Homo-oligomer: A and B are copies of this chain.
């Protein structure tokens, strides 16, 4: 086996660990929390199916690639809950270290390619990255909404928090942003999201 194939296989084996990173959203059947690997698969296919709703014309396969790679850093950092302000503050530095380690397992040219995809997603530097972000933000809303707001209720989430996250959809997919706002309004109506913020 060449050194190059050996490095590639080491990376492939290492990323198996993303299957053990727990997110805060439940599977739609409520059986368990979902993990970041299956989530990455789900949003990649979502991007393929919803590409026509992107704000600008996008290469759907590039958006898929961004989404397949976007959560890999969680292998070292875990899933940062978007409503945990302390964890969110230290997230960029922790994730940059993780990216250097993980992509560094690959041969240099591929390390640069995958790190580039990750940076593109993080920086929302392209129409594909903005659309991929939109899809990645809409997905947990779908999961929450269709499990009776379960994770929202468990974490005592307020509609303004969700609406601030949802605003990140507007840039990449305005039509999906409208739909997200409808979901939030309906969730509030059904008591799954707090309407008053109780002074927080």
Given contacts A12-B49, A106-B49, contact A37 B29 (CB under 8 A): no
Total copies of this chain within the assembly: 2
A1-15 vs B, CB cutoff 8 Å, 1 = contact: the mask equals 100010011011101
Measured between alpha carbons, how far is A20 from B31 in the docked complex, in Å?
9
A99-110 vs B, CB cutoff 8 Å, 1 = contact: the mask equals 000000010001
Given contacts A1-B179, A53-B5, contact A12 B61 (CB under 8 A): no
**Chain B: minimal CB distance from A103 (Å):** 11
- Evaluate contact between B69 and A65: CB separation under 8 angstroms: no
A23-45 vs B, CB cutoff 8 Å, 1 = contact: the mask equals 00001110100110110111011
**Chain B: minimal CB distance from A109 (Å):** 10
A45 is contacted by which of B35, B42, B68, B182 (Cβ under 8 Å)?
B68
**Chain B: minimal CB distance from A122 (Å):** 18
User: Which residues of A are at the interface with B, using a C-beta cutoff of 8 A?
Assistant: 1, 5, 8-9, 11-13, 15-20, 27-29, 31, 34-35, 37-38, 40-42, 44-46, 48-50, 53, 61-62, 64-65, 68-69, 106, 110, 142-143, 146, 175, 179, 182
